[in-house]
Amino acid sequence: MTLNIVQTGDPVLRQVARELTVEEIKSDSTQRLIEIMRDTMRTAPGVGLAAPQIGLPLQLAVIEDRSEYLQDASEEDLKARKRAPVDFHVIINPKLFYVGDEKVDFFEGCLSVSGFGAIVSRAEKVRVECVNERAESITINAEGWYARILQHEIDHLNGMLYIDRMQSRTFTTMENVERWNDRSSEEE
């Protein structure tokens, strides 16, 4: 089963999501929701999906950057983005901390801003303190593309979209993003 992904303009994307209690996290309904969110993310396909994107203002997101998504990327592109596969996991009630001052600029897209992308400056390294789907406290240290995914999804939980952080003059269709990426890789 998959759910519809809400698009920009839906009020749920602009509100701060509420935290889940331990009892809620361990409930059958939340465990089923996590499975449905995983399936929805994979079907889209995407590398992350936050509960507000399916209309639920909850501090819950699923993340997975599958190796098959990286197959068509050049080695140079993967290296520049510090992108590698990320196993499926869940973050609940996350707290985001920037590690260092280094920022990197890359194009981002979003399942809730379908068909468009823009360059967004994000922290190169982050630490996320949260709980997993078993309500266990975990700390995630991430850098590169994985850090970008975490920041993007946590923004959703705080009522923000990448368009709030984008370099507005770079906002374009995904077709043009691909054309720009192809041209950039040819220049390297």
Q: Compute the distance between CA of residue 89 and CA of residue 59 in angstroms, rounded to an integer.
A: 14
Query: With contact defined as beta carbons under 8 Å apart, do 154 and 128 qualify?
Result: yes
Phi, psi for residue 167 in degrees, rounded to 5: -80, 105
Q: Compute the distance between CA of residue 30 and CA of residue 17 in angstroms, rounded to an integer.
A: 15
* DSSP E strand stretches across 24-115: 48-50, 60-65, 86-98, 103-109
User: Dihedral through CA 26, CA 30, CA 34, CA 35, nearest 10?
Assistant: 100
Dig out the tokens for 149 from the structure: 């995914």
- DSSP state, residue 126: E
Residue closest to 69 by CA, chosen among 8, 4, 145, 6: 145
Catalytic (active site) residue 153: yes
Kindly report the number of other CB atoms within 10 A of residue 77's CB atom.
Answer: 16
Q: Which of 136, 153, 178, 186 is catalytic?
A: 153
Query: With contact defined as beta carbons under 8 Å apart, do 108 and 117 qualify?
Result: yes
- Residues acting as catalytic residues: 153
